[in-house]
Amino acid sequence: MKINISKEALQWFKEEVGVEAGSNVKFFAKIYGSSPVQENFALGFSVEEPLDAAVSTEVDGIQFYVDETDLWFFNGHDLYVEYNESYDEVEFKYIKP
């Protein structure tokens, strides 16, 4: 599994969430939502220190990661985080490698 962050999504995280070099953004499965990879679960994120990062990528000194306990959610898909200009928020795409 890979995590890909677009330049526009990175800018959104910096401006809207306030992350900067040295910050850590965790992606995690949350109940009560929807996603194309898991029924009744959606993807959330928080800014926190990694405990058991299984997959991570660093962009501009910011670490984006998924813990071992949440890998099941992706069901073998890579995560693409992109910016949706119409909604002024990030969106998640899941692509099988």
Residues spanned by the domain of 63: 3-95
The pLDDT tens digits of the residues spanning 1-42 come to 999 999 999 999 999 999 999 999 999 999 988 898 898 899
**What percentage of residues in the chain have a pLDDT greater than 90?**
86
Q: How confident is the model at residue 78 (pLDDT cuts 50, 70, 90)?
A: very high
- Is 48 a residue whose pLDDT tops 90? yes
User: Which structure tokens are listed for 63?
Assistant: 């670490």
For residue 82, the domain's CATH number is 2.60.300.12
Number of structural domains, the chain? Answer: 1
**Predicted local confidence at residue 51, as pLDDT:** 83
Q: What strands, in cross-sheet order, belong to the sheet with 3-5?
A: 3-5, 78-84, 89-95
For 87, the token pair is 């909604």
* pLDDT at residue number 67: 96
pLDDT band at 54 (very low <50, low <70, confident <90, very high): very high
* Contact between 95 and 78 (Cβ < 8 Å): yes
